[in-house]
């Protein structure tokens, strides 16, 4: 394999890893907005919080796998409490109220992170089993990046199975379509929505935990991941998981090749693409007009 081909393959894998990471975050955001209609500006802040939880859990247990399980679960539990006591009371007042309170939650999480962990970048150590290199298509590639791709595919496949092939998934979809009818059948719809919100935050938590070793953990992490994730959701179309998946993969590749070949323009390529799409399809590529 020629050096040029190796370069292109390596960048494609980099883009795939980052794209799957973006989709983990964006899928949770899409799930929450598409099924509950809640515009959660603080979504990426929960991912950042999970990254800090992962750092602390790893420090306390010395076990990366335990930390990888614990951190998203705690983040999801915080998300459940947030939905129950902060978002539910204001949901009936519309998106403006949700916007204001989630901006407040985002600011609160940022200040708590600075207070408890400081402002310095923290390093989440990769376990020995994932720290090496492996041969892929004739090139050596970090095992951990392949792990990020693999765990993203595994989790998202599992979530799709639950949402579209199980009784729980059917209840969730029915509760979204006709809340009053589902409530009349004796199903606790507020509990269902709280569960959906918790799952969405858990997905963000998984993304934050696995992103820690790649990006390092720092207070600006939410801004970095959140901006890209919102571009994915907007361009893909609010509420469209398929749109979020396709756009996340495309933007991951755009980011990888942009950094390699046109580094000065790389930061604006994503937003230029968003502007181009929205100029022709204001609802996003897979969004539908209400």
Q: Minimal CA–CA distance to 72: which of 84, 61, 62, 80?
A: 80
Averaged pLDDT for residues 95-101: 89
The answer to the question of residue 47 being in a domain is: yes
pLDDT at 190: 86
How many distinct structural domains can be found in the chain?
1
Which tokens hold the place of 109?
A: 């999480």
Predicted pLDDT of residue 52:
97
Paired strand residues for 217: 122
Residue 290 has pLDDT above 60, yes or no: no
The overall average pLDDT reported for the chain is 89
Query: Looking at the whole model, is its pTM more than 0.85?
Result: yes
Model confidence over 108-137: pLDDT tens digits? 999 999 999 999 999 999 988 998 899 876
Angle at 152 between CA 146 and CA 153, to 5 degrees: 90
Residues β-bridged to residue 136: 139
Q: Is the pLDDT of residue 203 over 70?
A: yes
Region of residue 62 (phi > 0: left; psi between -120 and 50: alpha; otherwise: beta): left
Find the domain containing 68 and state its range.
3-280
Domain membership of residue 216 (yes or no) is yes
Question: Tens digits of per-residue pLDDT, 150-166?
Answer: 998 998 888 888 877 88
Say yes or no to pLDDT of 63 above 90: yes
Measured N-to-C along each axis, helices 221-236 and 95-117 cross at an angle, to the nearest 10 degrees, of 150
Confidence of residue 188 (pLDDT cuts 50, 70, 90): confident
Rounded-to-integer distance, Cα 44 and Cα 263, Å: 25
Instruction: Give the pLDDT confidence of 13-46 residue by residue, as tens digits.
Output: 999 999 999 999 998 888 888 777 788 899 999 9
- Contact (Cβ atoms closer than 8 angstroms) between residue 109 and residue 49: yes
Rounded to the nearest 10°, the torsion over CA 105, 110, 111, 115 is 130
Give the CATH number of the domain where residue 128 resides: 1.10.3470
DSSP state, 128? G
**178 domain-assigned:** yes
| 257-272 pLDDT per residue, tens | 998 889 888 889 999 9
pLDDT tier at 177, thresholds 50, 70, 90: low
Region of residue 96 (phi > 0: left; psi between -120 and 50: alpha; otherwise: beta): alpha
Please give the structure tokens belonging to residue 18. 């980052």
Asked whether residue 103 is assigned to any structural domain, the reply reads yes
Look at residue 242 and tell me whether its pLDDT is greater than 80: yes
Rounded to an integer, what distance in angstroms lies between the CA atom of residue 270 and that of residue 140? 28
Cα 110–116–122 angle (5° rounding)? 80
Is residue 286 domain-resident? no
The pLDDT of residue 33:
82
Residue range 217-226: mean pLDDT, rounded:
91
The rounded distance, in Å, linking the Cα atoms of 36 and 179 is 11
């Amino acid at each position: 394999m020629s050096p040029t081909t190796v370069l292109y393959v390596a960048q494609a894998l980099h883009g795939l890893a980052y794209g799957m990471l973006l989709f983990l975050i964006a899928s949770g955001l899409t799930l929450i907005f598409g099924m509950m209609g809640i515009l959660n500006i603080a979504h990426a802040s929960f991912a950042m919080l999970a990254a800090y939880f992962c750092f602390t859990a790893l420090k306390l247990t010395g076990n990366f796998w335990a930390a990888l399980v614990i951190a998203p679960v705690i983040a999801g539990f915080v998300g459940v409490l947030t939905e129950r006591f902060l978002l539910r009371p204001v949901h009936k007042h519309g998106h403006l109220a949700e916007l204001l309170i989630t901006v407040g939650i985002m600011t609160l999480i940022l200040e708590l992170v600075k207070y408890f962990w400081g402002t310095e970048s923290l390093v989440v150590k990769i376990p020995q089993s994932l720290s090496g290199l492996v041969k892929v298509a004739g090139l050596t590639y970090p095992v951990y990046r392949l792990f990020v791709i693999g765990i993203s595919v595994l989790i998202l496949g599992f979530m799709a199975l639950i949402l579209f092939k199980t009784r729980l998934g059917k209840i969730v979809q029915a509760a979204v379509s006709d809340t009053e009818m589902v409530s009349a059948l004796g199903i606790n719809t507020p509990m269902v929505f709280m569960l959906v919100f918790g799952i969405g935050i858990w997905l963000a938590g998984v993304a934050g935990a696995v992103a820690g070793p790649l990006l390092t953990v720092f207070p600006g992490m939410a801004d970095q991941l959140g901006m890209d994730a919102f571009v994915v959701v907007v361009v893909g179309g609010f509420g469209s998981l398929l749109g979020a998946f396709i756009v996340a993969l495309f933007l991951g590749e755009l980011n990888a090749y942009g950094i390699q070949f046109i580094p000065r323009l790389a930061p604006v390529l994503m937003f230029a693409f968003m502007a181009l799409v929205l100029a022709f399809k204001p609802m996003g590529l897979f969004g539908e007009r209400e």
